[in-house]
Amino acid sequence: MRVLGIDCGSRVTGYGVIDSDGADCVFVGCGAIHSKPSEPIADRLKCIYNGIVQIIRELQPEAAAFESLFYATNVQTALKLGHVRGVSMFAAAEANLSIYEYSPLEVKSAVTGYGRAEKPQVQQMVRSLLKLNALPQPYDASDALAVAICHIHSNRFHNLTTHV
């Protein structure tokens, strides 16, 4: 299975793609889609949408995994993040990908074993789990890979419990 993990952000949206046979995860690619904060939100959303569409075309994932929204103290930031998630999910749905969501706690627990892990810890574990020579950069990309890894682990557990 090939999974696209997406870490939504209004300035930087990270993506990470991994392959898995259900046991091992293999790195395919990762990176970030950058939008200009000086541009109107509609143009930034279009940039993110087009970037996700291009990644899906090039890397051909079968599923997309997103981190679910979390509590935000700034309403404007939460709204912008919601818009980014919306266009990102729409791009995945339009490509007929299965879509999954995981809480930040689930993602961090799946990758580090600790739900309150910091970004450097997540990044280091992603490097280790995917047997990468270097840390995946930027943090948005390593976070996206973490979401994809979380999906593989969750999907494997779900398949084990449904086939018993």
DSSP 58-122: HH--SEEEEEPP---S-HHHHHHHHHHHHHHHHHHHHTT-EEEEE-HHHHHHHHHS-TT--HHHH
Q: How deeply is 41 buried, as exposed, middle or buried, from its count of CB atoms within 10 A (0-12, 13-18, 19+)?
A: middle
The reply to whether 106 belongs to the active site is: no
Active-site choice (43, 67, 94, 101): 67
Active-site choice (7, 21, 24, 43): 7
Q: How far is 66 from 75, CA to CA, in rounded Å?
A: 20
The reply to whether 43 belongs to the active site is: no
The reply to whether 7 belongs to the active site is: yes
In this structure, the dihedral spanned by the alpha carbons of residues 106, 110, 113 and 119, taken in order and rounded to 10 degrees, is: -80
The tokens describing 84, both together, are: 């980014």
> What amino acid positions are annotated as catalytic residues?
7, 67, 140
